[in-house]
Amino acid sequence: MNETPRPAGPNSAEDASGWFTIIAVCAAILVLGMVAGAGLWMMAAVTVAMVVGAGAVVSSQWSEGVVARREDLPEEGRDLEVLIGSRVPICVSVTNNGRLPVAWVLAEDLLPRAAGGESMEFDDASARAKMPALSVDGARLAVMALWPGQTKHLRYVVHCRRRGYFQIGPTVLETGDPVGMFRRYRLGTRPMFVTVLPRIELISTYEIGSRRPIGEIRIRANVMPDPTRLRGIRQWQTGDPMRSVHWAATARTGTLHTKIYEPSSVIGATIIVDLHVSTNPDRNEPVRTDLSIVAAVSIAAALHDAGEPFGLATNGRDAADRVKTEGFLGDHRIGDHFEVRDAAGQAAAMLAKNDRLRPVMIDVDRGPAHLKELTRTLARLERTDGLTLPDFLIETESRLSSETTLLIILQQAPAETVASLVNLSRRGWAIAVVLNTLDVDDYTRLAAPLLAENIHVSHLSDQDSIRDVCREQMMR
């Protein structure tokens, strides 16, 4: 990441056009001077040619001699991971390795336009909801004059206000000749990537169980009893299976007795987060989407603490894939004025391999490493216009765990979504729904058809309700 790309040569389209114009003007002056016999014309032409040539050489030497290096980077191949509210100091050193002093060089560290902004304060909730994901304390742009071997630094602090995956950089270096006839642009440093992890709310209990007959918690009713949980014995009745006969009690009493088992269930979950743009409207962003992510990671953390299995499935898009496909897009100077052919080729190759309709899935598992992977993935998720939730469930049903509850977090439940969930429930899947909506009337309207099919529904109204959203035991 610290390698500095090679500078572009003077043969760019803009420079070629400038050279052609200047040569044509000088040639015209020489011809006029020869025809008119005017020595001053000849001297003017030679002077202009010398100034142009010197400017081209000086600008090229300055551009080649100035290098940039990003300091305090994470380990090679790893992204920086921080929590919401963290402040990340950024330092870019700019050094003149050439033999000539550089009169001026402009260094700018780029940030995504949609993510960054100057540092500001927010007085009310609506303003805080619209605050940028990243705010900057300090200057990301500076004009420097460098002596040979001199190093100066570009320092600023990035304040991470919301979860997400962000690209910081690359650093663009701009210089030119003193009279402004030539300008050179270079990619000073490669970008760094920051993952801002979502906040985890502590959940004391989690009581949504699946329909698996052998598990860790009791449920009120079940189609099949758990043979590992013996509650007691009673006299055998017509219809009791013979495999449940308690032969020891039968032998002692001389009367058939049968075993009584407790129904139970596992409490693991496959968390499904709906992030399609049609059911996550812009007017609710980014508040409601971030609330869904916080609820998902909080439930996963509670399951981890209980030692239970958990997984993730979503129709959203991983922001890391988006950044890879976009590469260094976003600045008009990049790609036209310096050599980024290799980077552009790599970005094109990644775009060919990236399938926007591919679901993001993490298989059901246990352990802290699994929780870390799931948290990191949730932090990077973004809305997409790819698969709707019904299409997503059809696409991924064969890959979902049938031994855990499908805990679905969504903002809206149109008719096709309700039909898809009802079909899954009738085919034996354990379904629980978390409706992420502020309005109680909207919750009542959306929950009614699901409750009519005995699908457990919880109301996620705000961040305080996350702790209570999964405490109700699902009725069987």
Contact 136, 117 (CB under 8 A): yes
pLDDT average, residue stretch 345-364? 59
What does the mean pLDDT of the chain come to?
Answer: 77
High-pLDDT (> 90) share of the chain, %? 29
Query: Is the pLDDT score of 284 beyond 80?
Result: yes
Count of Cβ atoms closer than 10 Å to residue 38 Cβ = 13
Predicted confidence band at 62 (pLDDT cuts at 50, 70, 90)? confident
pLDDT average, residue stretch 91-120? 80
Query: Is the pLDDT score of 199 beyond 70?
Result: yes
Q: What is the pLDDT of residue 303?
A: 87
Cis previous bond, 170, omega within 30: yes
Q: What is the pLDDT of residue 6?
A: 43
Count of Cβ atoms closer than 10 Å to residue 335 Cβ = 17
Higher pLDDT, 364 or 78: 364
CATH class of 1-197: mainly beta
- Whole-angstrom distance, CA of residue 334 vs CA of residue 319: 21
- Whole-angstrom distance, CA of residue 196 vs CA of residue 160: 7
Predicted confidence band at 419 (pLDDT cuts at 50, 70, 90)? very high
Q: What is the pLDDT of residue 29?
A: 67
- Whole-angstrom distance, CA of residue 272 vs CA of residue 269: 9
185-189, 345-349, 429-433, 464-468: segment of lowest average pLDDT: 345-349
Query: Is the pLDDT score of 404 beyond 80?
Result: yes
Q: What is the pLDDT of residue 275?
A: 93
Q: What is the pLDDT of residue 379?
A: 95
Highest mean pLDDT among 113-117, 205-209, 346-350, 444-448: 444-448
pLDDT average, residue stretch 82-95? 92
Burial of residue 398 (CB within 10 Å: 0-12, 13-18, 19+) is exposed
Query: Is the pLDDT score of 332 beyond 90?
Result: no
pLDDT average, residue stretch 175-182? 76
Predicted confidence (pLDDT) per residue in 162-171, tens digit? 999 988 888 8
Query: Is the pLDDT score of 85 beyond 70?
Result: yes
Higher pLDDT, 79 or 194: 194
Quote the tokens at residue 400: 């979902």
Predicted confidence band at 129 (pLDDT cuts at 50, 70, 90)? low
Residues of the chain with CATH 2.60.40.10: 1-197
Residues of the chain with CATH 3.40.50.410: 199-226+265-315+359-476
Q: What is the pLDDT of residue 350?
A: 39
Q: What is the pLDDT of residue 470?
A: 54
CB-based contacts of 99, cutoff 8 Å, min separation 6: 61, 65, 148
Homologous superfamily assigned to 199-226+265-315+359-476: von Willebrand factor, type A domain (3.40.50.410)
Contact 160, 119 (CB under 8 A): no
258-262, 306-310, 365-369: segment of lowest average pLDDT: 258-262
CA 458 to chain centre: 26
Higher pLDDT, 225 or 257: 257
